[in-house]
Structure 1
């Protein structure tokens, strides 16, 4: 059923807000990637959610922060003799990354309270947003746990598994925001046939798995070895003694550069195969719009694979690694929008408020308005 003009505007405002937060999450991922690639992630050795928003303001403050960094293994092993000016660059990246995280929290929760007060948030949407808010808070804690892993004796970088978890959680938040925003689309949209819906939902799941594996590659620096394609050390599939050289065998999936990179390659092929077959299927059996969206996912997946190959062959330059990470977020966004719209959108009709009517507060008032 078609919504009224006022209802469309209310839904459009919420949808725009969600996409703005999603864009900030993508920016957060990009800055986080730059922070990792410049070796800046361990430059701030304390987790201060409130007071940490203020950077060092005096030379004494800078000297104190630099002294803390000099006590880290990264400094003593990699950056011995670094000057204060170089440290300020490292500190700036990590401080900017954390500040952007605080900004995302502000941009998310303040409009959420306003929209909820105004009665623009339905019960289902409200529960989804609260879940994302909790996940966002958990992401901050995961970020600190990740940083703390790199401050342990003998460590010069964060643990690969914790980095992959941090990146994947950010991607889950992005996917959740985009899913909810796409569900606020005005007007009705018929669901695709069951087979197409199932494959459409499978695609963002596969992309999330691939992002997790990409996090392992980044965390273990597995992209700096086997810089050939399509072969690895002259073969398409390395021998088992190479892929499972570490004992116990389970540790190969995180610490063995050969297996970590091989897993990332194979999953990329799987994502492309599923995306292409799904686009072909949507062309034959899909409703209006399904083929265009499916083709968009397939095209982005192919572009991402090509960029990944270039990044590998060039031995992971900063610009290529950042572009590869950001394009992964684009693939996830497109796949999530496609999956959500493939399930169908049927927003109920809502009526505009009278000029003197006070917006209801709480879920009971929302239910009474049919939102």
Structure 2
């Protein structure tokens, strides 16, 4: 007789593939932001928009629409049609990958129902998953539409952060669902102290990811390309001069970079503390096998952050910045995984 875990293994693999595709989608979003490509497509056509312009007339029409917004008028007025195509394709690929994610989720979902790989307890979590995916697409379009006017040069970094964090919620939810299908109950250990510290780590990392989105959205690394100091000072000049505390911590480039760096150091210390406690777990446990991953990732993440800052002289180094973002997402997923295996035991779908 087929066991529950072997029966649901294909579904779990499908979900893990979805996690990987969502990570790629977020990275493509980061590239579109750093290349200034996000506003290049001024229409939202879920079906017809699957194909790029196919002839010279269609390309010129798309370019003419782009010429109507502020980004072209005040930033890219020197663009030729060839320049426009270079940014158009990044945004098109970002949207196309989103469509592919929808197909990859929908077709196997129908197949798994037909093959009875999905039972009733899984229907609700999967519906929530689809709703989160649809919400993410809607947030993305609302964000882009907000920048299609005669005033805004770029989409607000606040909206960008909302879009990014909602993508992280969707990705973490998908991972959590997959873990529930793949991790045996015996591997879930009740470790209250590790669990509380893990929750604190997730909370700090959430704030850090928001500030990472601020850094990307405002190109804030260009405000100070030195390390370990910030323009020669540990407490840089220019902080808290934006007119108010909230305005300063959300719009002042130097303040945002200072907070982002400080949170990185705090995260490194807390993860080192968590690692020290988790290493005392029995060598046979899944938690012990996973415990080094967050520490390794946060150290790599800090190194990539330093390299990104040091190479941000005139432009943001896209390669360093995107890998930095990718490792940050992997760090989040690793902490979600360690939290999953250190919480109290519960029913397989009890908390979804």
TM-score by length of 1: 0.86
Quick one: which of 6, 11, 16 aligns to 2:8? 11
Unaligned runs of 5+ in 1: 349-365, 367-371
Structure 2 match to 1:235: 233
Structure 1 match to 2:269: 273
> 1:6 Cα shift?
4.2
Given the alignment of the two structures, is residue 114 of structure 1 paired with residue 111 of structure 2, yes or no? Answer: yes
Relative to structure 1, the CA distance from residue 258 to residue 124 in structure 2 (aligned partners, 3 Å threshold; closer, same or farther) is farther
Pairing of 1:88-99 with structure 2 (within 5 A): 88-99=85-96
Given the alignment of the two structures, is residue 82 of structure 1 paired with residue 79 of structure 2, yes or no? Answer: yes
Unaligned runs of 5+ in 2: none
Structure 1 match to 2:308: 311
Structure 2 match to 1:221: 219
CA contact (8 A) 1:197 1:342 kept: yes
Given the alignment of the two structures, is residue 49 of structure 1 paired with residue 46 of structure 2, yes or no? Answer: yes
Deviations 1:47-69 (A, max 9, x none): 22222112211211111111101
Distance 2:275 2:261 in 1: 21
Structure 2 match to 1:295: 292
> 1:251 Cα shift?
1.1
Structure 2 match to 1:333: 333
CA contact (8 A) 1:276 1:295 kept: no
Distance 1:192 1:303 in 2: 29
Q: SS of 1:179's equivalent? A: helix
Pairing of 1:131-146 with structure 2 (within 5 A): 131-146=128-143
Q: SS of 1:291's equivalent? A: helix
Relative to structure 1, the CA distance from residue 258 to residue 155 in structure 2 (aligned partners, 3 Å threshold; closer, same or farther) is same
CA contact (8 A) 1:11 1:186 kept: no
Relative to structure 1, the CA distance from residue 247 to residue 347 in structure 2 (aligned partners, 3 Å threshold; closer, same or farther) is closer
Quick one: which of 206, 209, 224 aligns to 2:207? 209
CA contact (8 A) 1:201 1:336 kept: no
Relative to structure 1, the CA distance from residue 24 to residue 345 in structure 2 (aligned partners, 3 Å threshold; closer, same or farther) is farther
Distance 2:292 2:120 in 1: 33
CA contact (8 A) 2:144 2:155 kept: yes
Deviations 1:309-349 (A, max 9, x none): 1101110311111111111121112111221122266778x
Structure 2 match to 1:356: none
Relative to structure 1, the CA distance from residue 338 to residue 124 in structure 2 (aligned partners, 3 Å threshold; closer, same or farther) is farther
Relative to structure 1, the CA distance from residue 206 to residue 111 in structure 2 (aligned partners, 3 Å threshold; closer, same or farther) is farther
Relative to structure 1, the CA distance from residue 123 to residue 274 in structure 2 (aligned partners, 3 Å threshold; closer, same or farther) is farther
TM-score by length of 2: 0.91
Q: SS of 1:243's equivalent? A: coil
Quick one: which of 147, 150, 153 aligns to 2:147? 150
CA contact (8 A) 2:194 2:278 kept: yes
CA contact (8 A) 1:186 1:347 kept: no
> Over the residues paired in the alignment, what is the CA RMSD in angstroms?
2.2
Relative to structure 1, the CA distance from residue 346 to residue 219 in structure 2 (aligned partners, 3 Å threshold; closer, same or farther) is same
Deviations 1:125-178 (A, max 9, x none): 432222222121111121112212322323221111011111111111111111
Deviations 1:273-324 (A, max 9, x none): 1111011011235672323312211110111011111101110311111111
Structure 1 match to 2:247: 251
Distance 1:341 1:11 in 2: 19
Given the alignment of the two structures, is residue 66 of structure 1 paired with residue 55 of structure 2, yes or no? Answer: no
Counting matched residue pairs gives 344
CA contact (8 A) 2:191 2:344 kept: no
CA contact (8 A) 1:207 1:271 kept: yes
Structure 2 match to 1:361: none
